[in-house]
Amino acid sequence: MKYSVGYLLVVILSAGTQSSNAQATRHDPTSPLIRLVHIAPNVQLEVLDWGGHGRPLVFLAGSANTAHMFDDFAPQFTDRFHVLGITRRGYGASSGTLPPNNVDTLVLDIRSVLDSLHFASVVLLGHSFAGEEMTRFAELNPARCAALIYIDAAYDRTALSTIIKDTPQPAGPPMRAADSASPDALRAAIARGAGVRVPKSEILATSRFDAIGRLVGSVTPDSLEGRLWEGIMTPRYDRVHCRSLGIYAVPDSAVDLMPYYTQLDSAGRAQADAFFNPIKEFAAKSETLFRQSGRNEVVEVHHSKHYVFLDRPTEVARAIRRFLGSRAASSR
């Protein structure tokens, strides 16, 4: 199990069980409709449709995750919106490879999916790394951006690699043999490290198990994460013309940032404490940059975790509804 700066890199792997020729599937009546949308040669993107009517509200997952990460959170918005999720190329059921140093290809992927669904303008809601794609999408496609909602995603990540190098984060608890015994065991192991329980559907969408249910390996290589992060750039919020909401998970202690802190020995805790301060400063600078635009609104959720929509779902949903309830953000 790997833990990265400010978020858990859930190294749980694609099941790869869906047919690449499938057009739409539904595993049970309560799960989202799943489509594989062909957007380029050898590239098909998984699109989840939780239903609803109204303006499209499109969820984008962070790195290492798929749109299934929102299976327990997104459906509550179907009362006012048509709610969907897109899994970026190379992850889960989405095929294709990531180009180096090129977020624009990922932005074009999003636009291609919206074209295929005949959506003129949408509200984009993204977690973590999806902030990179959202900002650039709004910059390149201003007429198609009704609003942006960043869930612990509005950061300038360009300095992050230096922080990691200068002040490394302590490793989280290693996986035990029992942690790979079943999807439920893996889910419990992730909860111990991340401090939140991810949807079981995310485990099944990003992991591969053998006939008796044991975890057997990943179809998403670690190198994919490195290539994804090669494309980071300083966000140009000044070039975004739609209103934006930034929901920040504010860690007030090393335990908030690293839920596995209590499982570390004294040396590990000292390393975690040293890591906390530069990360806190990094987050504050990013929030200041985001606030500089008069169109941007900020909600801080203190003592919360990076997966704040799983950790504090009621507060996050309330903030989203308040923002989208304004005529400027939700008018057609």
The enclosing domain of 55 has a CATH number of 3.40.50.1820
Look at residue 8 and tell me if it is in a domain: no
- Average per-residue pLDDT for the chain: 88
**What backbone torsions phi and psi does residue 124 show, to the nearest 5 degrees?**
-100, 130
Residue (of 230, 222, 247, 262) closest to 306 by Cα position: 247
- Indicate the SS3 state at residue 249: strand
Per the domain annotation, does 110 fall within a domain? yes
Rounded to whole angstroms, what are the CA distances from 290 to 14, 81, 176? 34, 26, 40
> pLDDT tens digit string along 134-171?
999 999 999 999 999 999 999 999 999 899 999 999 99
Condensed to tens digits (0 to 9), the pLDDT of residues 100-141 reads 778 999 999 999 999 999 999 999 999 999 999 999 999 999
Helix or strand run (H / E) with residue 134: helix 130-140
DSSP conformation class of 67: G
Would you state the pLDDT for residue 44?
A: 96
pLDDT at 22: 35
CA dist., res. 173 & res. 246, Å (int): 31
Residue 159 within a domain: yes
- What is residue 201's predicted lDDT score, i.e. its pLDDT? 95
- In the structure, how many helices (H) and strands (E) does the chain have? 11, 11
Q: Which domain holds residue 321?
A: 24-174+223-330
DSSP H or E stretch at residue 50: strand 43-51
Model pLDDT, residue 319: 98
Task: Report the domain count for the chain.
Answer: 1
Helix or strand (DSSP H, E) at 185: helix 183-194
On whether residue 208 sits in a domain, the answer given is no
How far is the C-alpha of 143 from the C-alpha of 184, rounded, in Å?
A: 43
Residue 230 lies in a domain: yes
